[in-house]
Amino acid sequence: MKVIQLIISISIASMLMSSCLSIEEKKKKAEEEGNALVSIKSKLIKGAGDALKKDGKEASESASEGIVETIKGITSGYDKSINQAKIIADSVFLKSFELGRAQKDYGDTSNVKKVNVYLIANTAFDGKVKLKAFDAADKEIGRSALKVKIDEDDAQYFDFLFDQRTPLLQVSYFEISSKE
């Protein structure tokens, strides 16, 4: 029986010694597994980089176009907002001018309230241009006049200054007229 125990002990010891890796062998195996993992990850990253080189430019261009269109929409909406100035011109004025863009300026920092009007001259003009402000009840709530001198086929922005107390936010429309 002692012989059997001895044979079993020797067998167990030899199995343990042959199946156990040394510390150096374990380190080498761990290093190989680590290298394999890093290699796989780096190939994944390289593949992503290559794809971005190829398709990233297209994606960036598309995103940029979308951003530009959004900004154009914001600008267009802003132009149609409360800053837009609706101007009605009389027939005498329309003989001398065409109306371009018009915008209210509330004077947030300067306390100067004004309406910017782009005038396009059909003929040479040297005279007075008057801009009257009206509320929703068609009541005049402010006016401004400018001396304008402009050559035929010329165009320019003019700032019509209003009294600080003029409630430009309440203006429904403006009337513009001219007198030489």
Tell me the residue range of the domain where 108 lies: 87-179
Q: Are 124 and 153 in contact (CB under 8 A)?
A: no
Tens of pLDDT, residue by residue, the chain (180 residues): 665 665 666 656 555 555 566 777 777 777 777 677 667 767 777 777 777 777 766 766 766 666 666 665 555 555 555 578 899 999 999 999 999 999 988 766 777 889 999 999 999 999 999 999 999 999 999 999 999 999 999 999 999 999 989 998 899 999 999 998
Q: Tell me whether residue 94 is in a domain.
A: yes
Q: Are 103 and 76 in contact (CB under 8 A)?
A: no
H/E run at residue 98? strand 97-105
Residues paired with residue 102 on neighbouring β-strands, in sequence order = 117
Could you give the number of structural domains in the chain? 2
> What is the C-alpha to C-alpha distance for residues 116 and 83, in angstroms, rounded to an integer?
10
| Verdict on whether the full-model pTM lies above 0.95 | no
Of 81, 99, 114, the residue that ends a domain is 81
Q: Are residues 117 and 69 in the same domain?
A: no
Q: Are 112 and 161 in contact (CB under 8 A)?
A: yes
Q: Are residues 116 and 175 in the same domain?
A: yes
User: Which pLDDT score is estimated for 156?
Assistant: 96
- Closest-CA residue to 118 (of 106, 105, 102, 130): 102
